[in-house]
Structure 1
């Protein structure tokens, strides 16, 4: 009941904020005229080219003058994105498995996840505890900025299952402009998954404020956000046969419901609290030039467009992270875990503080006919402080060890963003001092766009070579159950080449790539066997360790995406093939597939758009990474106790409805639960939820 009142309060708060913002806008209009209310209808980008609003705005859904973008976390460069009015596949917008089911996760909403497609995984961050929560944790490059004529609000609500064991999520997004250059906004993301299985609840509350100023000579983007993630850990179910062969567990007399299945752990929680501040701004030197545009057949409009020549850039990023591992059952700790370094203490903590400054000078592309590319030089300095709990002989006292690190690096970027035929970006960085000295990376991206048979054929290329220092928590970690100091880890050398061919008219996208990794560093399940008096193995006590493979590992990936249409019938498909040369160290499924068969049509003069269909997710059997509740990370399985998962399709049946500015879906999730061998695990010993009804609602407001 309290959560229902909380959601109602959040809805009221968003509506109230929107109304107050509208009053503020009216006041600004009265004081300063209409120019204070939003955008020029023909907005120009940084290079003096008009923004193609038709590419990012559906005029039947949202008003002209609303557009969105993201910024990169190094220089604050802008990338325009479509405004969130997505109708297609809306039923998958809150799916932990991703839009095409490419993620492994623990079953419950908000639980940690890991992409099965290796090329889609992000590099581990210095604070890797929140990496598996990318479903809801936003990095600076994930935050959406919006510029709008009138206040824009989006409210979304998702619900699945019942009131005692179901899941809920409420999201709100609000953006407003004080004038055509200065904008503000906030977002709220509240997630609560009670959990159909015992001791697996999730309770997250994330939110943030953002602001942007985009002038001719001065640009600024600011973000402040907070993540509060609390997750109960159950260690997986006690015996997989409760899912795969339920009748064997009670001599055929009983079929267990999900909440009756015993789990390995209880009274254990991971709690991550983080605060982030991000500021990127630049001052531009340049000149104004006249630009003429045809208003109609008889008249031409002349406008003054600013052309930047040189930019001075500064980016500041501050991260404060705090993690608590909470465990109250001492008897359980003694029987399940191999080590208890902190004795009977119920809580261990780790903290991280990071302050990073980047300064740069950019010579902008296109200020004269000889400047065919932009050139940026930069200098970065990062200070890091990690706190870890240590042991002491004095009962009730703990020592806090602080590890202070710094890293100084230099680099440069060469880029071409203008024009329609060819674009590229090449960035290099070298750490010259500090903990990461000798670390370097060279990354290149490019796209070639050709007209062929009345269609645009796009070829994207992505390549890099990286020599990376393993992140801090691979080198040092101290906790209640895991402990390591790896001072001799070598740097990780990675080389990748990837290409993607897109044919929009045919609905075809082909992607392929290869990567070589030397000194691959990873987490491994290092559990030791427990034997009875006769020497028989009766189980394993849990432990984990960091491993480094000194040889080379090759990964090959090929993926085909295809969309087909016959009348109102549509079929969207995706097939991925992967091959890892070291499956025991870097396990990947050879085959992953997704299919979505649906009808799409309109009613009431096409005002109401409807999609009805079913989709299926599938991947071949493999020894998928296990999950460690102690560190909230995925790690390779114990080689003496491995199990395969996969080769089980997961089918959902759904209906999407889109009426003007409102989207709604209803879904029967996992409709094939209980069929076949019922091997529905996405991580060893963690079954996904059984069959349930889910629905979602998203509503956009523009006043």
Structure 2
């Protein structure tokens, strides 16, 4: 009995103690191990809970959120350390290609995108910003297999492999504005970029460009607009790039001037009174692109806390890419808007659909899906860095007006194509890199098409300066684009069955930037080359065409004096198939100095471009293509000779400055107009370049 009372008394004591403040916040001595607020448990976890225990004030101290650093395997330590860097995604492989943000004063005065090619040698163009252009360097001429009508605008178009993605430690904004000429002939460009991070690995950006002119000559205005939206996440294992692109162009087409003598033999104060072939013709282009590429990396062994990135660990990546692109083009004109006269040859010979007006529209869409695997055997930057393999499936849809549309609904034409591809690449630190890749279409629309190539690069660093020798070889067998075989419009119609083209290309480059030297040579041999002939129709050359290019760059510097030289020599075995000028030259001579050291730097100098005479291109608005014009004209002695373009120096006087984060230039474009070189300033037959005018440009960068 005494023992029973003792046990009861002990239990009462514990119960009384439980009413004491603070007891519920201690681990009780009965072995429950529970320490929850407002709860006391007796015995096992299934014991009684006292809900009348005093309330405990919650701990309001929050643990600081850990902000993960950028851990992507795409970028090395030096890249991650930058305040901002930019890259382009690759939709075929689990790779990105790093680029640069142009904030330098050098070359800032060259605002035409097609004049920056080959270090400034540039292109043949219609004379106005926003219009059609084609590179003087044959190796750089675009050859669109999809919607070939757009290749004349290649210098302006944004594509997924050109779209910028950014990583920036602070929000980044970049604005540029260029303008020049009289108000009625105003030429202007507006570029705007904004990028910012959601996290160190996740960011978004927007790029916008608007470029064009009201035109110097009648019906010459043009406007090109581009919008690119991007979202990216480059994490430790998972990466995604997604974007939307909108390209638009509205081009007034005058067909060239009626009489070249109005430029070469006469001085007109009002160029708009010079007669042109077409006064109301117009081309309109629209392009919408949606794309996405993503991948997930799986390390082949467990990562430790010290593994900042999987770039140095054996891994397997699986990925998927998606692209949907749709292009639309409309060409319009009227017969009443065309030049007339007894000595005027009709600009268009045929009017197949409507005898008084044209309204030709073409449409093409591409739906592309790819699935790929990437193996990283050891180190991503090792001798065998990555091995890639993938399979792709493309669905093409084409539409153009056909005469049967009057009776039946035209649903267009569909083609499908399946292909497999792969690559392997590696490097030995910064000294040697190599790559080999291949793509093959086993069946479908482009059955038996094949593209195989490889690149190597060797670098040495005497006194810390890079000297690089690189080379490449490529074999490309390709099916002609759909529009080369099939086209019907008011002025042109054709139905062809061209054979596949086969091109073999070799190139080698030597570069030593610290002494301003770059030397290059390339050789291409093309069999069954397809081109637009003198009759403005597509044709196929029966045989092989060889084009050789030799490029040299040398920059001299004497104190603040800069003497920069770019020279390209080209040789074509068939000028009527691949026309090229023998020599194309770009010279930039300027003096650079500090106005206020560390604050304001200034360049004052001259830019000059020149290419030798050759039977250059003509341009036809109705098909939106450059063609190999073979036109004969009479000289002063009534002897017929082949019409040639070139042989004219085009000189600009400029002053460019960089003040902190702002760049400014003032340029007298075509300084030598009617002063040096005569007046034969044509780079495309019957399309004169702009006359002399003043241009001003500004560019700001903000990191706020």
Cα distance in 2 for partners of 1:35, 1:238 equals 70
Distance 1:192 1:522, change over 3 A: same
Post-superposition CA distance 1:155-203 (Å, at most 9, x none): 1101010111121111101111100111001111122310011101112
Cα distance in 2 for partners of 1:661, 1:32 equals 39
Q: Which residue of 1 aligns with 2:20?
A: none
Q: Within the alignment, does 1:233 sit opposite 2:256 as a pair?
A: no
Cα distance in 2 for partners of 1:677, 1:583 equals 26
**What is the TM-score normalised by the length of structure 2?**
0.85
Cα distance in 1 for partners of 2:349, 2:136 equals 29
Q: Within the alignment, does 1:267 sit opposite 2:280 as a pair?
A: yes
Q: Which residue of 2 aligns with 1:432?
A: 442
Cα distance in 2 for partners of 1:416, 1:423 equals 6
Give the alignment partner of residue 87 of structure 1, picking from 105, 112, 132.
Answer: 105
Q: Which residue of 1 aligns with 2:328?
A: 322
How far 1:426 moved relative to its partner? Answer: 1.1
Structure 2: runs of 5 or more not aligned: 1-61, 341-345, 634-641
Q: How does 1:113-512 map to 2 (within 5 A)?
A: 113-246=133-266, 255-286=268-299, 287=301, 304-306=308-310, 307=313, 309-330=315-336, 332=338, 335-343=346-354, 344-367=356-379, 372-392=384-404, 400=410, 402-417=412-427, 419-452=429-462, 454-487=464-497, 489-512=498-521
Cα distance in 1 for partners of 2:459, 2:163 equals 28
Cα distance in 2 for partners of 1:369, 1:574 equals 34
How far 1:305 moved relative to its partner? Answer: 2.9
Contact 2:193-2:207 within 8 A present in 1 as well: yes
Distance 1:484 1:507, change over 3 A: same
Post-superposition CA distance 1:126-179 (Å, at most 9, x none): 112222212321111111111111111111101010111121111101111100
Cα distance in 2 for partners of 1:48, 1:404 equals 41
Q: Which residue of 2 aligns with 1:550?
A: 542
Cα distance in 2 for partners of 1:468, 1:663 equals 44
Post-superposition CA distance 1:592-618 (Å, at most 9, x none): 111111111112223111111101000
Secondary structure of 2:514's aligned partner: coil
Q: Which residue of 1 aligns with 2:534?
A: 525
Secondary structure of 2:149's aligned partner: helix
Post-superposition CA distance 1:293-317 (Å, at most 9, x none): xxxxxxxxx6633236111121111
Contact 1:97-1:105 within 8 A present in 2 as well: no
Cα distance in 1 for partners of 2:66, 2:126 equals 51
How far 1:331 moved relative to its partner? Answer: 6.9
Cα distance in 1 for partners of 2:275, 2:104 equals 40
Secondary structure of 2:275's aligned partner: coil
Q: Which residue of 2 aligns with 1:298?
A: none
Q: How does 1:93-104 map to 2 (within 5 A)?
A: 93-94=111-112, 96-98=114-116, 100-104=120-124
Secondary structure of 1:525's aligned partner: coil
Cα distance in 2 for partners of 1:288, 1:657 equals 53
Secondary structure of 1:505's aligned partner: helix
Q: Which residue of 2 aligns with 1:701?
A: 702
Q: Which residue of 1 aligns with 2:583?
A: 591
Cα distance in 1 for partners of 2:108, 2:380 equals 45
Q: Which residue of 1 aligns with 2:90?
A: 72
Post-superposition CA distance 1:356-411 (Å, at most 9, x none): 111111111534999723211110110000001112596xx786361211111112
Contact 2:74-2:95 within 8 A present in 1 as well: no
Distance 1:181 1:131, change over 3 A: same
Post-superposition CA distance 1:411-452 (Å, at most 9, x none): 210111562111112110110111100110102122111234
Secondary structure of 1:164's aligned partner: helix
Secondary structure of 2:272's aligned partner: helix
How far 1:283 moved relative to its partner? Answer: 0.8
Secondary structure of 1:404's aligned partner: strand
RMSD: 2.4
Contact 2:383-2:426 within 8 A present in 1 as well: no
Cα distance in 2 for partners of 1:97, 1:365 equals 43
Cα distance in 1 for partners of 2:75, 2:359 equals 57
Contact 2:668-2:692 within 8 A present in 1 as well: yes
Secondary structure of 1:243's aligned partner: helix
How far 1:71 moved relative to its partner? Answer: 1.8
Greater Cα radius of gyration, structure 1 or 2:
2
Contact 1:47-1:366 within 8 A present in 2 as well: no
Q: Which residue of 2 aligns with 1:22?
A: none
Cα distance in 1 for partners of 2:397, 2:108 equals 41
How far 1:699 moved relative to its partner? Answer: 0.6
Cα distance in 2 for partners of 1:308, 1:186 equals 35
Farther-moved stretch of structure 1 (427-436 vs 409-418): 409-418
How far 1:667 moved relative to its partner? Answer: 0.2
How far 1:505 moved relative to its partner? Answer: 2.1
Farther-moved stretch of structure 1 (83-92 vs 564-573): 83-92
Q: How does 1:5-24 map to 2 (within 5 A)?
A: none
How far 1:342 moved relative to its partner? Answer: 1.3
Cα distance in 1 for partners of 2:590, 2:302 equals 52
Secondary structure of 2:401's aligned partner: strand
Cα distance in 2 for partners of 1:696, 1:581 equals 42
Contact 1:289-1:305 within 8 A present in 2 as well: no
Distance 1:126 1:403, change over 3 A: same
Q: How does 1:574-613 map to 2 (within 5 A)?
A: 574-613=566-605
Cα distance in 2 for partners of 1:370, 1:234 equals 56
Secondary structure of 2:543's aligned partner: strand
Contact 1:317-1:356 within 8 A present in 2 as well: yes
Structure 1: runs of 5 or more not aligned: 1-30, 55-63, 248-254, 292-301, 527-543
Farther-moved stretch of structure 1 (143-152 vs 357-366): 357-366
Post-superposition CA distance 1:27-83 (Å, at most 9, x none): xxxx997865xx94xx666278413468xxxxxxxxx42111112232251122222
Secondary structure of 2:466's aligned partner: strand
Q: Which residue of 1 aligns with 2:52?
A: none
Contact 1:205-1:229 within 8 A present in 2 as well: yes
Contact 1:319-1:355 within 8 A present in 2 as well: yes
How far 1:330 moved relative to its partner? Answer: 4.8
How far 1:577 moved relative to its partner? Answer: 0.5
